[in-house]
Amino acid sequence: MSDQDADEAARTLPLRHSDDIQGDILAGFRKDHETVLLLRFPDDLAPVRNWLRRLIPHIATTRQVAAFNAEYSTARHTLAGTDPAALNATWVNVSLTYAGLRFLMDEEPFPDQQPEGVQAFVKGAFARAEINGDDGESAPGEWLFGRADQPVHAVLTVASDDQAKLEVRASQLRVAAARAGLTVTFEQVGATLPGERKGHEHFGFKDGVSQPGVRDFDRPDPRDPIHVHGKPGTRILPAGEFVVGHPKLTGEAPPLPEWTRNGSFQVVRRLAQDVPAWWAQAGAARRQLDKEGIELPPGTGTEWLAARAVGRWRSGASVAHNPNAEPPTKPGAPDDNLISYVDDPEGHTTPHFAHIRKTNPRDGIGGDFTNADTRRIIRRGIPYGQPFDPAAGTGHGPDADRGLVFIAYMADLAVQFEFLQQAWVNNVDFLQPETGNDPVIGKDTDVNLKLDTNPEGKKLHFAQFVRTEGTVYAFAPSLSTLRSL
Ligand code: HEM
């Protein structure tokens, strides 16, 4: 079997599912621009049902998005044929909060006792703020959206590579919603950062590198003969980890109501980033190591320390494979995802606190991947605001609004997103006692930097410079369920 045949054979997700699962879950919207509209329903059910009926033909399916992404990638990798820049599409998907589903169904959507993930969805992100570590400046009473006094019923995600096309589609959606009596309670725009920063988040690091592969959907990594990895190198997991109603890693799907099949739970979170403050403290932490006489490899400065906080260099190259210096970027090289922590049990290379090790410890937890694999989420975020670059003028200064519109999909909010936030990111004793919280997204913390030259570890303070400014839990139902509402 040629590589290409093997690739095709791997895409066996039955069409009935790929036409039924909304786009952006298993196949991500390619986008430079995105608008998220948070909508409130009026009291009258009939116009809302009509609005939804009219919206459905515009909702992207997994099959459409996957086909477009494949065409784009072929155009990018072949010299002849379509210019990839000429290929663009504008995508829409819709998700509903518990209040939105309850209203549209006109009966209790979950009549029986449900697992904790469903209870989290029913209560909503505002009520679950403590679990997610949202307090102090991130307290839900301060949020711009998702507060108890701002009900959200539906979330529309509109994405495109073309800002003008996105704007046309977004205004059509706003008009249609207004006609049916829906109110836009919050609108969050996002855009990839310009120039060299494209694909990077505001702190400067490449984002979206490590996504789980999905079995029978993502192509296997050709470097991996036994197909435990999907392209580009992350482990390939059953669809049931991300889409409800499919077998999961640990066996059959939990018995959720039939209408949830082929849907996915969604977290939308606005995370403000204080870029200069975060880098200033990385610099201070690095100087502290000098002051205390910690022996370091030559040439290691603030970038070296910041790469330890993330687990990757700005380019996305892993610290695991490039411990002391950022390697030159090789165009076309596969993402650096075939990472193992087995040979680094003490975190002397990739610290236990590094953002990517905290949120996906891989084989570094007892050599068994299962626990790490059941916590995976599919991330579809995009930055908002202008890059920090004071010389570039208004909107680029330290006080301008900027951050990440974090969007993630999963089959269970409690087992996946909430567990990551509570048990790993904000647990000072994960991966080991006194590891510290995640220095990128966690609460104020002392991280313990262990090195070959200093195995006991050195405590470095990291204050919280990512603030939660809003969170909504929603559910992106299948197309067939949307038609039945
Ligand atoms: C990976 C930044 C929020 C979970 C990454 C990477 C960066 C990054 C630079 C490495 C590139 C990659 O693998 O994609 C940020 C920033 C955030 C943020 C700046 C907030 C402003 C979050 C949140 C979660 C999360 C809220 C979930 C609780 C992950 C996961 C990975 C990752 C699971 C992949 C780890 C791996 O598989 O190696 N993030 N992130 N991130 N992040 Fe975040």
Binding site membership of 203 for ligand 1 (Cβ less than 6 Å): yes
Is 398:204 a contact under the CB 8 Å cutoff?
Answer: no
Q: How far does CA 337 lie from the centroid of its chain? A: 16
Higher pLDDT, 384 or 393: 384
Average pLDDT (269-276) is 98
3 pLDDT tier (thresholds 50, 70, 90)? very low
User: Could you tell me if the CB of 317 is within 6 A of ligand 1?
Assistant: no
Lowest mean pLDDT among 71-80, 247-256, 411-420: 71-80
Q: Is 359 in the pocket of ligand 1 (CB under 6 A)?
A: yes
Taking residues 249-264, report their average pLDDT: 92
Atom of ligand 1 minimally distant from the CA of 203 = 19
Pick 3 or 298 by higher pLDDT: 298
CA of 351 to the centre of ligand 1 (A): 15
CA angle 454, 459, 464 (to 5 degrees): 140
Would the CB of 448 count as within 6 Å of ligand 1?
A: no
Q: How far is the CA of 355 from the centre of ligand 1 (A)?
A: 7
| Minimum CA distance residue for ligand 1 atom 35 | 356
Q: Give the pLDDT mean for 99-106.
A: 97
pLDDT(410) > 60:
yes
Pairing outcome for strands 90-96 and 33-40: unpaired
What pLDDT is recorded for position 228? 85
Q: Residue 226 C-alpha to ligand 1 middle, in angstroms? A: 27
**What sign has the CA pseudo-torsion 364, 370, 371, 374?**
positive
pLDDT bracket for residue 210 (50, 70, 90): very high
What is the CA(201)–ligand 1 centre distance, in A?
A: 10
- Mutation probe of ligand 1 site: the residue of 359, 363, 471 with most atoms within 8 A of C-beta: 359
Do 60 and 68 meet the contact criterion of CB atoms below 8 Å apart? Answer: no
Q: Whose CA is nearest to atom 22 of ligand 1?
A: 441
Confidence of residue 232 (pLDDT cuts 50, 70, 90): confident
Question: Which of the four pLDDT bands, split at 50, 70 and 90, describes residue 469?
Answer: very high
What pLDDT was estimated at residue 4?
A: 52
Q: Give the per-residue pLDDT at 367.
A: 63
Asked whether the predicted pLDDT for residue 158 surpasses 70, the reply is: yes
Nearest CA to ligand 1 atom 4: 359
Mean pLDDT is lowest, of 127-141, 241-255, 436-450, for 241-255
Q: Which of 188, 241, 369, 406 to mutate to test the pocket of ligand 1 (most atoms within 8 A of CB)?
A: 406
Q: Among 9-18, 223-232, 341-350, 406-415, whose mean pLDDT is lowest?
A: 9-18
Q: Probe ligand 1: pick from 132, 193, 207, max atoms within 8 Å of CB?
A: 207
Q: Is 310 in the pocket of ligand 1 (CB under 6 A)?
A: yes
Summarize the confidence of residues 99-121 as an average pLDDT. Answer: 95
Q: What is the mean pLDDT of residues 306-328?
A: 97
Closest approach atom of ligand 1 to CA 337: 38
211 lines ligand 1 (CB under 6 A): no
Q: Which of 108-112, 241-245, 328-332, 395-399 has the lowest mean pLDDT?
A: 328-332
What pLDDT is attached to residue 39?
98
pLDDT (average), residues 287-306: 96
The pLDDT value recorded for residue 81 is 60
pLDDT mean over 44-59: 98
Residue 371 has pLDDT above 90, yes or no: no
Measured by CA distance, the residue closest to atom 25 of ligand 1 is 359
Q: Could you tell me the distance, in angstroms and rounded to a whole number, from the CA of residue 430 to the centre of ligand 1?
A: 17
Question: Is residue 421 in contact with ligand 1, taking CB distance under 6 Å?
Answer: yes
Q: Is the ipTM of this complex over 0.85?
A: yes
Residue 221's pLDDT band, with cuts at 50, 70 and 90, is confident
8 or 203: which leads in pLDDT: 203
pLDDT computed for residue 75 by the predictor = 78
High-pLDDT (> 90) share of the chain, %: 83
82's tokens:
């379509």
Percent over 70 (pLDDT), the chain? 95
The average pLDDT across 10-27 equals 87
The pLDDT of residue 78 is above 80: no
Is 60 exceeded by the pLDDT of residue 9? Answer: no
Q: Tell me, using a 6 A CB cutoff, whether residue 210 lines ligand 1.
A: yes
> pLDDT band for position 315 (50/70/90)?
very high
1 pLDDT higher than 50: no
The atom of ligand 1 lying closest to the CA of 210 is 13
Name the average pLDDT for the chain. 93
Q: How far is the CA of 83 from the centre of ligand 1 (A)?
A: 31
Average pLDDT on 201-223 reads 92
Q: Residue 464: name the closest of 302, 274, 267 by CA.
A: 274
Average pLDDT of the residues in 294-319? 97
pLDDT at 70 over 90: no
Q: With 0-12 CB in 10 A as exposed, 13-18 as middle and 19+ as buried, what is 137? A: exposed
Note the pLDDT tens digit of each residue in 42-51: 999 999 999 9
